[in-house]
Structure 1
Amino acid sequence: MANAGPWERVLPGVWCMRVPYPNVLPYGTVNVYVIQDGGEAVIVDGGATGDHLDLVVERLRQLGIRRVAAIIATHYHVDHTAGIPELKARLRAAAFMHPLDVSAFDDKFPHAAGTFEPCPERLRAGHRELYIIHQPGHTHGHLHLWLPDAKALFVGDHLVEEGSVWVGPPDGHMADYYRALDAVMAAGADVALPGHGPLIRRPDLSAERLRERRQMREEQMLAILAEGPKTLAELTAALYPDVDPRALPFARHTVMAHLERLEEQGVVRKAMSAADWIMRYARTEE
């Protein structure tokens, strides 16, 4: 693939810059995408700040892009949105996100409230159409973006080539995430462009792998709970004994999301002990 400084051409007319984010494991980077058709472009996600934001603007100039039709964020988390308020001002471009995540962004980052508008059903960069799909899971307003001329699906934080993604309350919902993985498998996409890491050549297989991983975790949890009631901390330690300390909060939230799903299915219940006022989880047959 053709490379240009920190930018990589991942598909014809689609460029990616990987911005350092050390606490985002395992890659330590987040992706910013530019979809180009002639002198117009759409930018997908905007975690770039400081010098990396300057690199985005400079790359647009190098590509001969005179108009950014829109900036769209797949979801509201800071590693995908930190640079968008400034980028929007510098490019005089509209910024979009799903309404649920617009509200979450405004609540979380009141200094930047009003940056985003609710997203339309599709956007255009020149003659290229980008279809916007509400696909909750990682957040309630998470989006997938379908670029039909490339049979490419932008999947935000729902897929990665290696490892897994975290899904947890209050933002995420595991049952929704299962449905998001099913949607990827049914999409007919040749490639997926994730929020972190390299382009994914077989998104159907990647989604299947992650689905099997989540199912494995639930089977492990039920096996642990068969030994007796456990606290959230005990379950997390048993499931992730060697977790990087930086990833421990994400592991804990993912366990919480699994427990919510198992409660919804009626196979797990929770109760607070009067002896120590600590919440514990147990299998319903106990």
Structure 2
Amino acid sequence: MSDEKPWPDTIRAGDCEEHEPLVRRVLAPNPSPYTFTGTQTWIVGAGSDVAIIDPGPTGSGMSIGDPPDAHGAGHVDAILRAVKGQRVAAILCTHTHRDHSPAAAPLKAATGAPIVGCAPLALADDGPRADSAFDPDYAPDRVLADGERVTGDGWTLEAVATPGHTSNHLCFSLIESKALFTGDHVMAWSTSVVSPPDGDMAAYMASLKKLYDRDDRIYYPAHGPAVAKPRQLVRGMLGHRKQRERQILRELERGTDVIPDMVKHMYKGLDPRLTGAAGRSVLAHLLDLEARGRVARADNRWRLVA
């Protein structure tokens, strides 16, 4: 979640951009305060076959409707144009928010490739995010457990379970180049929204620590720029979340006992469109603190436990 605006417009949706020999990106035309420049679909492979990671939105899954990209076509068409002449071996999804997975079905129909990756999850999302309703139609052919792999011509992708942003979130490690596709779990432009009931702050923090203990060379997130110093960023994110927790505890010490007032005091200058999402992250912290016996609540009012 970020209060930066406007988002950059230097990258055209629909263009295919190479980041390294095995990695290309196609940007979806769905920029917003929650998706930054849009959802980034990653194409892995330079030989006879490829994998597609986070195929993105389609139709009503677009955050701002269903706009054409810079070439006047939809996002699925842009992906198919980028992989023309190569076989799609697998379509992988990090999680099932509707700016990530809905295009998997039309891509499967067009290519015959199996949908693999995260488990299906269909929950009513009571958070305020315009882009974060779950995709109820997601139907994987194979669910990957932590450490399971998908292989192709010159590439190997390994699933890294990272619950927290959602309970079914996976990252994917490209073994050949030590790159990690981080979905919404780690992004350089913003912190992830952790929105209960499916989002879980304790799980999110544990997943951050899991990534910190790895030795990945670079991160390719689903939104925003690549991360060239992964462990440095993750260390900062862990510190940021701990700082937010301390802020919440200070607010409770001062007698602030409802989430809207905490958000008002903690997020100075926040884009009003992001206020609800900030409240969801505060709630996630409070639920974690409650589970640890630090705070208690009654009638949506929170207090410190003596």
What is the TM-score when the length of structure 2 is the normalising length? 0.82
Distance 1:207 1:55, change over 3 A: same
Give the match's secondary structure for 2:187. coil
Q: Which has the higher strand share?
A: 1
Match of 1:34 in 2: 43
Cα deviation per residue 1:133-152 (whole Å; 9 max; x = unaligned)?
22211110110111111011
**Which stretch of the first structure deviates more once superposed, 241-250 or 157-166?**
241-250
Q: Distance in 2 between matches of 1:187 and 1:68?
A: 29
Q: Distance in 2 between matches of 1:105 and 1:259?
A: 21
Give the match's secondary structure for 1:154. strand
Q: Distance in 2 between matches of 1:58 and 1:26?
A: 23
Q: Distance in 2 between matches of 1:109 and 1:205?
A: 33
Match of 1:127 in 2: 154
Distance 1:280 1:47, change over 3 A: same
One-letter identity of the residue aligned with 1:118 = V
- Does residue 228 (structure 1) correspond to residue 255 (structure 2)? The answer is yes
Q: Distance in 1 between matches of 2:215 and 2:78?
A: 33
- Does residue 280 (structure 1) correspond to residue 301 (structure 2)? The answer is yes
Q: Distance in 2 between matches of 1:39 and 1:10?
A: 19
Moved over 6 A (4+): none
Is the Cα contact below 8 Å between 1:85 and 1:115 reproduced in 2? no
**Which stretch of the first structure deviates more once superposed, 71-80 or 15-24?**
15-24
One-letter identity of the residue aligned with 1:8 = E
Match of 2:122 in 1: 104
Of 77, 86, 90, 1:54 maps to: 77
Is the Cα contact below 8 Å between 1:236 and 1:255 reproduced in 2? yes
- Does residue 85 (structure 1) correspond to residue 105 (structure 2)? The answer is yes
Deviation at 1:206, TM superposition (A): 0.9
Q: Distance in 1 between matches of 2:289 and 2:164?
A: 16
- Does residue 168 (structure 1) correspond to residue 181 (structure 2)? The answer is no
Of 5, 13, 17, 1:8 maps to: 17
Q: Distance in 2 between matches of 1:223 and 1:92?
A: 55
Q: Distance in 1 between matches of 2:123 and 2:76?
A: 20
Q: Which has the higher helix share?
A: 1
Gaps of 5+ in 1: 273-278
Cα deviation per residue 1:24-50 (whole Å; 9 max; x = unaligned)?
437231110000141100100011436
Deviation at 1:264, TM superposition (A): 1.6
Give the match's secondary structure for 1:150. coil
What is the TM-score when the length of structure 1 is the normalising length? 0.88
Deviation at 1:113, TM superposition (A): 5.1
Q: Distance in 2 between matches of 1:12 and 1:193?
A: 14
Q: Distance in 1 between matches of 2:242 and 2:295?
A: 15
One-letter identity of the residue aligned with 1:83 = A
Match of 1:156 in 2: 183
Match of 1:68 in 2: 88
Match of 1:212 in 2: 239
- Does residue 190 (structure 1) correspond to residue 209 (structure 2)? The answer is no
Deviation at 1:108, TM superposition (A): 4.7
Deviation at 1:8, TM superposition (A): 1.5
Q: Distance in 2 between matches of 1:165 and 1:113?
A: 22
Cα deviation per residue 1:179-224 (whole Å; 9 max; x = unaligned)?
1111111110110111111111011011111111111111111111
Gaps of 5+ in 2: 1-11, 59-72, 125-132
Q: Distance in 1 between matches of 2:123 and 2:82?
A: 27
Q: Distance in 2 between matches of 1:225 and 1:174?
A: 19
Distance 1:105 1:257, change over 3 A: closer
